[in-house]
Amino acid sequence: MQRNVVLQALVRLAASLVAIGALAASPAFAGDRANLNILGYSEDGRYFAFEEYGVHDGSGGNYSDIYVIDLPADKWTYGSPFTVEEGGDAADTPPLAQTRAKALAKAQEKLKPLKIDTPAEILVLLGDGVPDADGKSMVFANTMCCNPGATEDGRFTLTLKTFPAKLNEDYCTDMDSVGYSLAFNDGATTTMLHQDGATLPKSRGCTLDYRLYAVVAPFEGQGSRVAIISSYPFGFEGPDRRFLVVPID
């Protein structure tokens, strides 16, 4: 997520004062960890929307970012993300729910015309409290009616790999930033769903790691299954957590 100019300056200052390698690896430093709210799919399955929200590290202000993705084109729609940031001082920070409501109202200019009202079904989820999981591989199946835990016979595997990639920003120069690739195996064939180049997109930030977070599908609707990936760009006090989506079908 893009930061404002002041925050970018603070990030650069922080980067010059710490040993970045130790910062990225040590659990003693904390960034802000965005939460995820899946808004759903459009009626025709072409568009997918989600919200990431939380409290900024450093400033303490609330934020909510709503993304609307054109799945066949694998890109944000015009105007996305719809962002609201508020507060930064305990005395003037409104409730997080208020910030989120403002972002949702702002995003209605896209959500309503695109008819994004089909809910998503979670096929697999790596929750934040799962210990000893590296988030680099995920196995899932399509659901079927109606016994508890009933799935179709086919098994699918997502494999995420990271590799060195640069961000052309001064504050990232001394950090071990990475890109990622995502492969999908349907039991017979492996398809590369995403492959970063040697340079990270500016909107990604100085990303230090990625983890598979979830796979979702339209609930009783049409559209692509979507892989949701946690990304960890460097923030004011350490790695933050944000979200990326990759269409599977």
pLDDT tens for each residue of the chain, 249 residues long:
444 433 443 444 444 333 333 333 333 344 699 999 999 999 999 999 999 999 987 778 999 999 999 999 999 999 999 999 998 776 678 999 999 999 999 999 999 999 999 999 999 999 999 999 999 999 999 999 889 989 999 999 999 999 999 999 999 999 999 999 999 999 999 999 999 999 999 999 999 999 999 999 999 988 999 999 999 999 878 899 999 999 999
> Which domain covers residue 162, as residue numbers?
5-247
**pLDDT attached to residue 58:** 74
Q: Fill in the amino acid letter for 155.
A: R
Q: Which of 51, 47, 44, 107 is nearest to 74 (CA)?
A: 47
**pLDDT attached to residue 28:** 35
In three-state form (DSSP H/G/I as H, E/B as E, the rest C), the secondary structure along 232-249 is: EEECCCCECEEEEEEECC
93: left (phi over 0), alpha (psi -120 to 50) or beta: beta
Distance, in Å, from the CA atom of 96 to the CA atom of 53, rounded to the nearest integer, reads 9
What's the total number of domains in the chain?
1
